[in-house]
Homo-oligomer: A and B are copies of this chain.
Amino acid sequence: MVLVSFQGERGAYSEAAAEKFFEKCTTLPLGTFADALDAAADGRAEYAILPVENSLEGSIGASYDLLHHTMLRVTGEIYHRIEHCLIGSGSLENTDTIYSHPQALGQCRKFIEQHNMKTIPTYDTAGSVKIVKGLDNNCASIASQKASAIYGVPIITRNIADNPNNHTRFLILAQSESSSTGSDKTSIIFSIRHEPGSLYRILAAFNESGINLTKIESRPTKTNAWEYNFYVDFEGHKDDPQIQKVLEQIERETTFIKVLGSYPAAG
């Protein structure tokens, strides 16, 4: 059975996504995204799973920054529905303080405001269930149904998020590459020269080859203020001759380019 590292405590959404992707796997909970990637890079785990984007909150900047530096390859993707539950030992009426990850607190803002609850940010959704287990029953947490089951703290209210359209996209990373399946995506990172039209000429190369971009994201380079790395996903496998030709073409327009990997496109 494969071993998959993830950030968070047992019961985290990342763990559930890993179990859905691999069907059969064991999981290794670690403290940070960087720890999860390190475990796959040094062989303690065969795969790492990393959340990269949420349908409500947008891209997870810290994950994109790690992709820039990792030696691992992206070998898969999965979309996982996030269903936030209010979890605690008290009733809805006597709950006045909520512990959870800031992103989960943000996604349940209306529910929290309606019930006039105080929020306390924590490092992890599942970890917040562990925290409230030791507190008075006016304290509750926001996490998954699975975290409620693992830590034995009851669900007070299900589906408390403002917007039910709440999905997270996860990437699967490993030391090896995925071969072409005929329905693949490729993820790349590049920086461009500070010249008018640089980004346009790169998009033009994709457009002329009929390659469909599925995502474009810019992140500061951190070395030079207001210079950006672009994170682009497109349809096709990096071993396709047509994709190779476009990658060669855009290399001329970039100051840095890294192919993160090609992998079967999810649903």
Contacts and interface: CB of A to CB of B under 8 A. Distances in A.
A61 interface: yes
Interface residues of A, number: 36
Contacts of A226: 55
A105 B97 CA distance: 23
Interface in A6-22: none
A222 B54 CA distance: 10
Given A58-B220, A220-B55, A222-B56, A200 B204 contact: yes
A223 B165 contact: yes
Contact of A206 (B57, B165, B200, B216): B200
Contact of A61 (B57, B199, B203, B206): B57
A64 to B, nearest CB: 8
A213 B54 CA distance: 26
Given A58-B61, A102-B121, A225-B165, A218 B220 contact: no
Interface in A25-66: 53-58, 61-62
A100 to B, nearest CB: 12
Contact of A121 (B121, B165, B207, B224): B121
A218 B216 contact: yes
Contact of A225 (B55, B57, B102, B215): B55
A196 interface: yes
Interface in A95-141: 102, 106, 121
Contact of A204 (B204, B210, B219, B224): B204
Interface of A: 53-58, 61-62, 102, 106, 121, 163, 165, 167, 196-197, 199-200, 203-204, 206-207, 210, 212-213, 215-220, 222-226
Nearest 5 Cβ contacts at the A-B interface: A55-B225, A200-B207, A121-B121, A200-B203, A196-B212
